């Protein structure tokens, strides 16, 4: 848990006008981690970048699937394993591509859900901040 930042003063005591500010009356206790919001923009941008990478992989694998569908069983298919090309069975190649497509699609859905959750948390924080600001304005107006 992180603590709210402590103000830095040039002198040893805080300014005198601080004592005259009204204390806001909150409807409820503000969340403990309100000031400790994780760097959500970084997390969101990482998720967006990962999703874009997965989209590119999905496109590539769809092209491979289309190419494999054009071939018949007499054609040779090779798989790159390190520096060596190894002959692969056509059905095995098709199954591998189908599994890869299913995995990539699942990962894209997972990232989309993760991004939605991040956006919901950000919206909740904005709403909580707006409520706190309203409470503070009401308290200042009464004082």
Is pLDDT larger for residue 96 or for residue 14? Answer: 96
Q: What CATH architecture does domain 42-142 belong to?
A: Orthogonal Bundle (1.10)
pTM of the model: 0.64
pLDDT in tens, 61-86: 999 999 999 999 889 999 999 999 99
Q: What is the pLDDT of residue 1?
A: 47
Among residues 13, 42, 34, the alpha carbon closest in space to that of 124 is found at: 34
> Residues 4-15: pLDDT tens digits?
555 555 555 555
Q: Where are the domains of the chain?
A: 42-142
Element (H, E) at 100: helix 90-142
């Amino acid at each position: 848990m992180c603590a709210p930042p402590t103000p830095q003063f040039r002198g040893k005591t805080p300014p005198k006008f601080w004592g005259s500010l009204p204390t806001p009356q909150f409807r409820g206790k503000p969340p403990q981690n309100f000031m400790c919001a994780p760097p959500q923009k970084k997390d969101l941008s990482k998720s967006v970048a990962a999703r874009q990478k997965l989209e590119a992989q999905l496109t590539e694998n769809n092209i491979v699937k289309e190419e494999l569908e054009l071939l018949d069983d007499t054609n040779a298919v090779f798989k790159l394993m390190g520096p060596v090309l190894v002959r692969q069975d056509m059905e095995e190649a098709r199954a591998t591509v189908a599994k890869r497509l299913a995995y990539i699609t699942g990962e894209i859905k997972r990232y989309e859900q993760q991004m939605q959750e991040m956006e919901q948390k950000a919206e909740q924080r904005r709403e909580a901040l707006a409520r706190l600001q309203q409470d503070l304005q009401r308290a200042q107006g009464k004082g």
